[in-house]
Amino acid sequence: MEYLHSEPNMSEIVYVFGAGVNSDIDLSGFSPPLITNFFNVALGIKKFSNDIYDIILEDLYKYIEQKWGKNKTDLKDDPFNIEDIFTKIEEDFLSACNENDHKTAKRLYLIKFRLQSFFCEVLQEFDACIYKSRNMLLLGKLIHEEKANVITLNYDCFIEYFIELASEYNLSTNAPKLAFNRYNWSRLLGYSTNNFDIIELPKSGIGKVLITGDKLYDNTNLHLFSVLKLHGSLNWFKYLPLRKYPELDDDEIKLPNDKQDKLHLVNGSWYLNEPPSLDGWYLDPVIITPTSFKNDYLELNKSILNPIWNKAKQALSNCKKLVIIGYSFSDEPIKELFSDVFTKHPLEELIVVNPDPLIAKNVKEICYFKGVITKYNNLTEYLQNIDLDRIQILEGLIELGKTLIESLEIKGIKPNGALWVRVAKNDELKLFLIHDTEKTRNVFDTLRFVLSEMDGISKNQIVIIEPDNGLVQRLKRVSNNLSNRTNIGVVEFIEYGNIKRVDVKYIYYLNGQKDKMPPIPINDIEFPSKL
């Protein structure tokens, strides 16, 4: 697994995500809601527009109609900012408390409780369909490749899911038992914090496997790059002083001392507006709900959020390339964070993915960026451009390989073929030369001489592989282009060593063709040593 020490990885690339990054996720024609269209989305989903939820949310709907004159039909059809509702409830609640109106304060608390649970349950509904988003999967792969830090203002766990998928299965037998996870990058170690008291380990089937945080963190370190969730997460919880099954003698409910301030990293599930529970007590998600009172909630949850904000500041302070997707910088604390960092640390590259041209202008001012912003309307445009950049890099590698082959041919060495290989184990690029060394005894001396005359490639990057080698034969069977030595390819990600298979994802060719490769068993393949 990929580990880190106590400091965040000093990656020079940082991604910033707002709710707009999820626009490619689809559930019956709806994307996860923004704060401006929450009710449009929620009431458009059949589950939440039925009579049961009307009864459960009756007091919330009455409150909205009393304050804004909007009924359920209006909420379904018209845009309405959910932040206005949370803020107004907070204001009325504080006013009732100041006036010692406990009855009104309790009613408003329950209305807010219903709204927050509704909000979380609607977001949770999209969990079942995120796997269908190709763009989000590509984005997860890109983040994992770049080992970039992510700063997100979203509560959902979508991006963690896609980074886990991109990291692929953890097949290591050497990982500490408690650190073992299905994937090489795990959200359990990916939040840049070891402050969780109770952690749910991944497990198939029914039931939870819970361990104390120290059992996990004492055996493992945090990952090299993090998902920094500045507004909290739907899988971070504290106990509520509210029993799921009240006892008859519960005149005054009090949370036991051993549950006070305990922080959980577990998979919670909302159903019929009821929050998750553990040990017979309801759980409250650690999230900063959309409200004008964000600073108050940051203070309330400072034990977990302050360290994450500090690490976000460190990540931004080292950032040279900033990519902002689907975020409009509407929060003052976030504006202050970015402005504070970039007044002292100038960015080299700024990319904004947002259809609104005014957002790019605002971001440029907030980040004190003096250069030219690169703008894309949506995630598809951005990812297409990334693919083009990668192809250009690969074409450069191909040209370098062709130059080497041509130089060898001038010296009388004619390889059967060649391909660049990126070895996943250490992310190192090597040039595999397919050549029968029996026919050319001086191949190694000639190679050393040719390499001494070239820039951009060293002898440590060269591997000589015989034409009858099992890897070559298997690659030839799935790639007709490999038999033509002028079509030098680049194999992206090849794994070998203790794992008895090779995962060749793609071979790229100079003519623009890209072959997708299936896994190839390599039980009987012997790899040669370096030149």
The residue among 37, 119, 19 whose CA lies nearest residue 80 is 37
* Backbone φ, ψ for residue 129 (5° rounding): -120, 0
Q: At what angle do helices 58-68 and 82-98 cross, to 10 degrees?
A: 90
* Ordered DSSP codes for 78-123: S---HHHHHHHHHHHHHHHHHTT-HHHHHHHHHHHHHHHHHHHHHH
Residue 376: beta bridge partners? 353
> Residue 495 phi/psi, 5° resolution?
-120, 130
Tens of each residue's pLDDT in the chain, 531 residues: 232 333 444 689 999 999 999 999 999 899 999 999 999 999 999 999 889 999 999 999 999 999 999 999 999 999 999 999 999 999 999 999 999 999 999 999 999 999 999 999 999 999 988 878 888 988 998 898 889 999 999 999 999 999 988 887 765 545 554 445 667 888 999 999 999 999 998 765 556 788 999 888 887 888 888 999 999 999 999 999 888 887 656 556 788 888 988 999 999 999 999 999 998 899 999 999 988 777 776 777 778 899 999 999 999 999 999 999 999 998 899 999 999 999 999 999 999 999 999 999 999 999 999 999 999 999 999 988 876 566 555 556 666 777 777 788 888 887 776 666 655 444 556 777 777 777 666 777 888 888 877 766 777 777 777 777 666 665 555 444 444 433 334 443 333 333 233 334 444 443 444 444 444 333 333 444 333
Give phi and psi for 406, each to the nearest 5: -60, -40
Q: Quote the pTM value.
A: 0.75
SS (H, E, C) 243-258: ECCCCCCCCCCCCCHH
- Locate the DSSP E strands across 248-294: 263-265, 277-278, 281-287
Gyration radius of the chain's alpha carbons: 28
Kindly tell me the burial class for residue 134, based on how many C-beta atoms sit within 10 Å of its own C-beta (0-12, 13-18, 19 or more). Answer: exposed
**Amino acid (1-letter code) at residue 268:** G
Residue 440, pLDDT score: 65
- Longest CA pairwise span in the chain (Å): 96
The two tokens of residue 285 are 């998600």
Question: How far is it, in rounded angstroms, from Cα 416 to Cα 434?
Answer: 5
Kindly list the distances between the CA atom of residue 297 and the CA atoms of 186, 238, 255, 334, in Å, as whole numbers in the listed order: 27, 14, 21, 14
| pLDDT (0 to 100) of residue 181 | 64
Domain-by-domain residue ranges, the chain?
Answer: 13-25+133-318, 38-127, 392-521
Buried residues in 468-494 as b, exposed as e (16+ CB within 10 A): ebbbbebbeeebebbeebebbbbbbbb
Query: For position 424, what pLDDT does the model report?
Result: 46
Query: Distance between CA atoms of 482 and 463, rounded to whole angstroms?
Result: 16
Q: What is the pLDDT of residue 206?
A: 58
- At 324, phi and psi to the nearest 5? -110, 120
For helices 102-124 and 58-68, the axis angle rounded to 10 degrees is 110
User: For residue 420, what pLDDT is reported?
Assistant: 66
What pLDDT sits at residue 393? 57
In 366-449, the DSSP E strands lie at 374-376, 417-423, 428-434
Per the structure block, which two tokens stand in for 105?
């304060």
For residues 41 and 8, the answer to whether their CB atoms sit within 8 Å is no
The Cα 36–Cα 182 span in angstroms is: 37
Handedness of CA 209, 212, 214, 217 (dihedral sign): positive
Pairing of strands 277-278, 263-265: unpaired
Are the C-beta atoms of 221 and 198 separated by less than 8 Å? Answer: no
Alpha carbon 515 to chain centroid distance?
27
Q: Label the pairing between strands 514-516 and 520-521.
A: unpaired
pLDDT confidence of residue 328: 92
CB atoms within 10 A of CB 519: 11
